[in-house]
Structure 1
C-alpha cells in the first residue's frame, strides 16, 4: 500500500525523555480524516484518524503475533493469551476491567487471527482516556496467574466445542488444513483440545514476554480524537508500566512470510450427521502485498460476492440448490487462498460442486464480461466505503495497515485503485488463480460412494 502524503516532525524532548517522531501520513480534508503516526523511542507506534464530526472513539492495540507464530506444541497459545489479558493486572481485577468499560456504555473485545491479534474498546469520545488506560493496562500489566490459566482453560475448551458444533465454521478450518497441511497456517487458531489442555502457565507467560514487546505493537485510535493527546496518554501509560525502558528500539517490519505454500488436488472429508453438506472448493490465491489483489477483489465480487454474482445466480437463483453460496479471498504475508463455499442438501453435493467447477473453468478460460466487471467495480467500491462508516472499522483499517504494510492508503486512493482495474487485468488474474487444480473440503453425512466421487471431482 502507498500513502499519499507523509510529513515528519520531531517532537522536542520533555522532562529528559527521548524524542518521539511524528508524521502526517494522510492530510485528510480540512482536518477531517487526517491520519498521523508517532513512533516512540521504545519502538511503539501510535496511529490516529481524526473525525471531529462523531461523538465516539475506538481505541485498539494490535500485536504482531498470530497463530502462525506458534510451534505445534504451542498451538492455541496466541488465542489463550488473548483471553488471559482480560483476567486481571496489577491495577485491576477481571471484574474491574469489564466494569470500567460497562459503566460508560462502551464495548470491549479482542480477536486473534493467523498473523495478528487485536484488543479494542469503543466508547464516547469523552471516555477515551479511560479506554486508553484500561487497554494499555491489560497489554502491559497482565498477571497471567496460574489459577486464571486453569480457569480459562475450560472457557476455551467450550469455545472450541461451540465452534465444532457449527459445521459452517469447521469447514473453513478444514479447508485451511487441506491447503496448508500440518503447518502454522494449516492449524486452527483456537488450537485443539489436546494442545489447549497441555499448555502451561510458564509457556504462555514466555510467549507473552516474547511477542508483546512495544516494538511488536501498534496502537490505533479513530474518531473524535486528538493525536497529540492520545500519544501523551499512551506514552504515560506505557512508561508507568515500565514498558518503554529502551530508547533506541525500532518497530518490527511488516511480516514477509517464509515461503509460498501451495497445494493442489487435496481432498479432506469429515463425515458428520448434519442436515446440510458444507463444501469449500478452492486453490492458492494471492499474498496481501500482491498488486494484482485489486483485480482479484473485482473478480471475487463478480464471481461470488453478491446476489447478482455468477455463483449465486447459477446455484441458488436458477437451480435452487443452496441457500448460501459465495466466494472469498484470504491474503497472508506470502501466500493466499481463493475459495468457494456452499451449503446444500447432502444429495446435491455433486451437482453443486460440478456447477462451481464449471463456472470457475468458464471464468478462467473465457473471462468475465465487461458488464460483469463494471458492476463488480461499483459493488466493491460501494461496499468498501460503507464498511468504513464507524470508528471501529476505521481503527481496524489504520491499525492493520500500519502493522501489515507499514503505510496508509486513503479511501479515495483505494477507490481510485479499484476503479483503475481493467477487464484485461481481471481476466489475467482469473487465468492465473482459477486455472489451477483445486482442493476440496466437505463436511456432512457422506456415503462411501459419495466420498469416492468427491475424490475424483478434483482429479
Structure 2
C-alpha cells in the first residue's frame, strides 16, 4: 500500500508498505542535477553529493560509515542530470537511525575546507578513471554532440578545470538555491507502516524556502545531428549514435521502449543478433533510451576493432533503416510487449527498485500509476504509434560520437 504526504514546508514523503520483507530502503531525492548548473560550476551537484559523506556537526565521515557497517546496512548516493539521491537500506529495526543519519548529512554537513581539498583529489581521480574507460566516456561525448551548449551536454562529473575552481561558498549557495523542501522527496519502501511518515517529517523539519528553487539554467534543449571524434590509444574503436527521443510521460513513451527493445535492448534484438551473433563484429552492442523532463535520447553503442569501425557503423545504419522502412515483424511486436511487461514486474520485486520508482514518479510526474495502469499502457500501444517513432530514425538525423586509436 502506498501512502503519500505533502508536508507543510513543501517536502513530500511517499511510503510503500511491504510486510513480506524485514528491511527498509529509504531514499532522499533532490530535484537537481548537472542540468541545473552554471557552466563554470559544472559538476557541483556531484561534488556536493560527495561532500555530504565527509562529516557533519554531529558525526565524522568515519562514524557515518561505521554506523551502517555495525548494523549490516548500506548507504550510498548517486547524481544524474536531473536529480540527486542519497539512500540507505537497513533492517526494519534500524529504520529510524537510518533516516536520522541521512537527515544529519543533508542538514548539518560542515563542508570543512580540508575535506573539500581532499575530495577534489578524489573526484579528479574519478574523472581520470572515466577518461580511461572509453566505453563509458563516449556516452558523454554523444550528449555533447546531440545537445551542444545546453546543460544536458555537460558531464555529470564536471571537468578538471571546473572541479579545481569550486569554492565552499559556491557549494553553500547551490545548496541554498536547490536543496529546498519543494525540491525534496523522501521515498520509503519496506517493513514500515504509515506512522513512520510522521517520524520522517519530524526529523527532516526543514524550513520552507522563501523563494522557488533556482531554475535559470533549465530550458528545453534543441537536438543536433553533429559528430564528435576523439583519438585515443585504445584496443577498440567505440561508436555511439543518438536519435532524438521522447520526454518522460510522452504519449509515445512506451512505443519508444518497444522500438528500443527490438533495435538493441535485448539479446534477441536486431543489432545484437546481426552484428554480434551472425557477423561476430562486436562483443558489446546495445541501445537504450534516456527520458528527461522535456526531451529524450535514443542511444546505440558498439565497440569494435578500428578496421571494422565504419563497416559496423554502416551496418547499424542499414539495420535502423530496414526497421524504419519495413516496421516490426509480428513476432517482434508480440515479444517486445511481453518483455516490457516482464521487466517492469520483475523490477518491482526489489525494494530498492520500488523506492526509486516511487521517488521518480513523485519527483518528476507527481503521479503514481499502478502496475495495472502500466500494463494497460503497454497493451494499448498501436503499430501506428511505433511507426511514428520509427519514422524519426533518419540516418542524417543521428548525432555521432567516435573514440578511435586513429
Pairwise same-fold verdict (TM > 0.5) = yes
SS at match of 1:73: helix
1:159 aligns with 2:120: no
Is 1:212 the counterpart of 2:196? The answer is no
CA contact (8 A) 1:77 1:199 kept: yes
Question: Which residue in 1 is equivalent to 2:199?
Answer: 233
Partner of 2:93: 126
What's the CA shift for 1:251?
A: 8.8
Give 1:244 deviation, angstroms.
Answer: 2.8
Instruction: Determine the structure 1 residue equivalent to 2:281.
Output: 321
Give the conservation status (yes or no) of the 8 Å contact 2:178–2:214: no
Rounded to whole Å, the distance in 1 between the matches of 2:213 and 2:195 is 23
Task: Tell me the distance in 2 between the aligned counterparts of 1:44 and 1:330.
Answer: 27
Shift of 1:195: 0.6
Q: Is residue 80 from structure 1 mapped to residue 42 from structure 2 by the alignment?
A: no
Per-residue Cα deviation, 1:67-104 (whole angstroms, up to 9, x for no partner): 00001111111000000011111111111111111111
Superposition pairs for residues 283-302 of structure 1, below 5 Å?
A: 283-302=243-262
Cα RMSD, aligned residues only: 1.9
Mapping 1:134-283, distance limit 5 Å: 134-229=101-196, 231-239=197-205, 243-244=206-207, 258-264=219-225, 266-283=226-243
Shift in alpha-carbon separation, 1:386–1:368, aligned structure 2, 3 A? same
Alignment partner of 1:370 out of 326, 330, 347: 330
Residue 18 of structure 1 is matched in structure 2 by none
User: In 2 relative to 1, CA 244–76 (structure 1 residues): closer, same or farther, beyond 3 Å?
Assistant: same
SS in 2 for 1:342: strand
Structure ID, larger Rg:
1
Give the gaps of 5 or more residues in structure 2: none
Unaligned 5+ runs, structure 1: 1-33, 447-459
User: In the alignment, is the contact (CA less than 8 A) between 1:275 and 1:345 conserved in 2?
Assistant: yes
Measured after TM superposition, the shift of residue 190 of structure 1 is: 0.3
Of residues 332-341 and 434-443 in structure 1, the stretch that sits farther from structure 2 once superposed is 434-443
- Counterpart CA distance in 1 for 2:216 and 2:396 is 26
When normalised by structure 2's length, the TM-score is: 0.96
State the 1:354 CA deviation. Answer: 0.8
Q: Distance in 1 between matches of 2:291 and 2:218?
A: 11
Kindly report which structure 2 residues correspond to 1:20-35, keeping only aligned pairs within 5 A, or say none.
34-35=1-2
Asked whether the 8 Å contact 2:92–2:191 carries over to 1, the reply is yes
Cα separation, partners in 2 of 1:414 and 1:253, compared to 1, 3 Å: farther
1:56 aligned onto 2:23: yes
Structure 1 window deviating more from structure 2 (362-371 vs 71-80): it is: 362-371
In structure 1, how many angstroms separate the alpha carbons of the residues matched to 2:140 and 2:274? 26
Post-superposition CA distance 1:292-324 (Å, at most 9, x none): 011000110011111111111110111000011
| Residue pair 1:106, 1:121 contacting (<8 A) in 2 also | yes
Q: Give CA deviations for 1:148-198 in whole Å, capped at 9, x if unaligned.
A: 111111110111111111101010011001111122110110000011001
The question of whether the paired residues in 2 share the 8 Å contact of 1:253 and 1:406 is answered with no
- Alpha-carbon shift at residue 289 of structure 1 (Å): 2.5
Aligned counterparts, 1:381-392, within 5 A: 381-392=341-352
**8 Å contact kept, 1:87–1:94:** yes
Closer, same or farther in 2 for the Cα pair 1:245/1:294, shift >3 Å?
closer
* Matched length: 406
Matches of 2:217 and 2:368 in 1, distance apart? 17
Q: 1:421 aligns with which of 377, 381, 384?
A: 381
1:65 is paired with a residue whose SS is coil
